[in-house]
Amino acid sequence: MSIISSKVGAVFIPVSNIIEAREWYCSILGLEPAFDIIAGHLCCIPMDNNGLNIVLDSKIYNADTCFREPAFHFNTDDIHAAYQFIKDRNIEMITDIENGHWFNFKDPDGNMLMICKC
């Protein structure tokens, strides 16, 4: 047994404005943006009850650090409703629903994100 867990604890996302990013991510996830800003540049948003977080970090942001390909995906049970939800918010869509299971879009900083029906 290893002292290091085989679980992913967090995915870091580079953002240009930590407060605006917290608001945007919480709005698409249906969460209240009540999460603390840590050290002036970090915001941890819990994604499930198993300890997984996304960590928004404005200290690591520059135009070259944005995700050009999705580094992770958000889950959904209804890919069509999720697609319409994102589209209705005038968020930049990158793909249509592909193979009936996933689509890509961008956050306000240009990071490529994915939603996938699992």
Average pLDDT, the chain: 93
Rounded distance between C-alpha atoms, residue 107 and residue 94, angstroms = 11
pLDDT of residue 118: 83
Question: Which class is domain 66-118?
Answer: alpha beta
Between residues 47 and 38, the one the model is more confident about? 38
**The domains spanning 8-62 and 66-118 adopt the same CATH topology:** no
Closest CA to 104 of 70, 61, 68, 59: 70
Write the pLDDT tens digit of every residue in 88-115: 999 999 999 999 999 999 999 999 999 9
- Percent of the chain predicted with pLDDT > 70: 100
The matching CATH number, chosen from 1.10.3470, 3.40.50, 3.30.720, 3.30.110, for 8-62 is: 3.30.720
- Sole residue written with tokens 């085989």: 6
In the chain, where the domains are located: 8-62, 66-118
Closest CA to 41 of 64, 59, 61: 59
Two structure tokens written together for 32: 């209240």
pTM as predicted: 0.90
Are 100 and 108 in contact, with CB atoms under 8 Å apart? no
